[in-house]
Amino acid sequence: MFPWSLVDTSASKDLGKLLPVIKVQPPGPNSKAVEEIVERFESPEGRHVGAIPIAWKKAAGANIVDEDDNVYIDTSAAFTVAIAGHSHPKIAAAIGAQARELMHAPAGMSPNIQRARLLEKLAGLLPDDLKKIHLGNIGSEAIDIAIKLAQIHTGRMQFIAFQGGFHGKTHGALSLTSRNYYRQEFLPLLPSVTHVPYGYCYRCTLEQEYPACNMLCTRYLDNMLSDPASGLGSVAAVVLEPVQGHEGFIVPPDEFVPNIRKICDKHNVLMVLDEIITGFGRTGKMFCFQYSNIIPDILVCAKGIASGFPISATIARTNIASSWKMLKHTSTFLANPIGCAAGVASLTVIEEEHLVEKSEKLGTYFLKRLKELAVRHELIGDVRGKGLIIGVELVEDRKSKAPAAKATEHIVDQALKKGVYYASGGRYGNVLKISPPLVITEEQIDFSLRVLDDALRETGKKAR
């Protein structure tokens, strides 16, 4: 037993708000048994990441229970998905009730009431001229729908995306994604995507310092679209994330997104905003674009819509959406009744439990406490965030900013042994990506910070 272990409450009605219970050092024997079977039969593409694979048994709120009945605090929301918490009872009840009534309806032929309810619910959250919704299954599909819509509306084939951008791994979405690791074996993809610098101020591609740079990254984009010798073709859209997710929860300066909107308007180019990660309260507003007082031409959402059930939405201005012709993009499970019911329930929970406001409040608290840790730990090079999406970038030393990838891996593993599930990633594998369910409690945040403090201290000593 460990000194931070509590009594066994894994079956408690309070599961979701518990502090960790570590009965068996992870990975325990049951997790290892599950891992052995998965390793034997599953394609390597589906394999886990991280040095310690724990097999999830159940989850609720901000807690995970593994197959050895260890209880963890989840600071990742299963890669930002569980907005309203894991297995929220109202969402689970909606899924069960719908499954008993109607599990599937042919989307291209027959509507269903849950589809109508979700469309109405989503439209009620959006600005007046951004209400035409194309439901899908996953984020990558929603991005592909956005690509096709931009092409069919403008008659142009060229796109601009950003270095460090991640939009998915289907063929079209992968063309916009910049990470070489995901792309290299599949080239050429869409032959008409150009990647430009993002507002990653801590590691500026253009070697500038904010704010003295006068937003050179956005001026670079403007110049690309203005210069007749830039090599660009006729551009249909600029596609961006308001906070880059995969590459380390990178929060650009406040001017970045509004500047992109102005540049798109100036050059008659569509602005496609990927809020697959940032939508539905993650950043402390229902949608991140609300911070910038702008409206995108096309908005892409997915992960948080149903807090765990796969469903996505590509949302466009009326005149743009009207460019579709019948059945130009459908799929078998599009607007699945169960997914729609889960989406309605999740969005209702987000509103009723004031989770957007909670994200803003707890995100401010979490960010403040992490910045206090940065004062004490030289390993922390940068702390950035909006609401409950926070990146903690670890470096070997602050002057060179050399990425501390090994230290990051060690901290994640040490935290897991003490019952806190941190996700890591970023361009160099040196960022703690903090995005807990919006139902996380302040007590759970405090415990997670104490564990992180200990892990940073221990890792820093080893580094010396």
pLDDT at 3: 38
Measure the CA dihedral 321/134/86/241, to 10°. -40
Average of per-residue pLDDT across 162-171: 96
Q: In what order do the strands lie in the sheet with 420-421?
A: 56-60, 63-66, 71-74, 420-421
Domains of the chain: 29-74+355-463 (3.90.1150.10), 89-352 (3.40.640.10)
Question: Cα–Cα–Cα angle for 153, 157, 158, nearest 5°?
Answer: 120
Residue 258: is the preceding peptide bond cis (ω within 30°)? no
pLDDT (0 to 100) of residue 461: 73
**Does the CA dihedral 216-221-225-230 come out positive or negative?**
positive
Please determine, for residue 442, whether its predicted confidence score (pLDDT) is greater than 90.
Answer: yes
pLDDT digits (tens, 9 = 90+) for 200-218: 999 999 999 999 999 999 9
What pLDDT band is residue 463 in, cutting at 50, 70 and 90?
A: low
Give the model's pLDDT for residue 87: 97
Taking 70 as the threshold, does the pLDDT of residue 249 lie above it?
A: yes
- Identify the pLDDT of residue 6: 42
pLDDT at 40: 87
Reduce the DSSP state of residue 318 to 3 states and report it. Answer: helix
Q: Is the pLDDT of residue 108 over 90?
A: no
Residue written as tokens 């079977």?
37
Region 442-458: what's the mean pLDDT? 97
Confidence of residue 243 (pLDDT cuts 50, 70, 90): very high
Q: What percent of the chain has pLDDT over 70?
A: 95
pLDDT (0 to 100) of residue 328? 84
Show the tokens assigned to 149. Answer: 């819509």
Digit-coded pLDDT (tens) for 19-48: 999 999 999 999 999 988 888 888 876 555
Residues 276-301 have pLDDT tens digits of 999 999 999 999 999 999 999 999 99
Q: How many CB atoms lie within 10 A of CB 300?
A: 32
Residue-averaged pLDDT of the chain? 93
Write down the pLDDT at residue 371.
98
pLDDT tens digit sequence for 318-366: 999 999 988 888 888 889 999 999 999 999 999 999 999 999 999 999 9
Q: What's the DSSP call for residue 212?
A: T
Q: Please answer whether residues 296 and 269 qualify as being in contact, where contact means their C-beta atoms are separated by less than 8 angstroms.
A: no
Nearest to 109 by CA among 342, 341, 332: 332
**What is the pLDDT, as a whole number, of residue 48?**
56
> Residue 45's pLDDT is what?
66
pLDDT of residue 197: 98
Q: What is the dihedral of CA 406, 412, 415, 420, to 10 degrees?
A: 170
Q: 2-18: per-residue pLDDT in tens?
A: 333 444 545 567 899 99
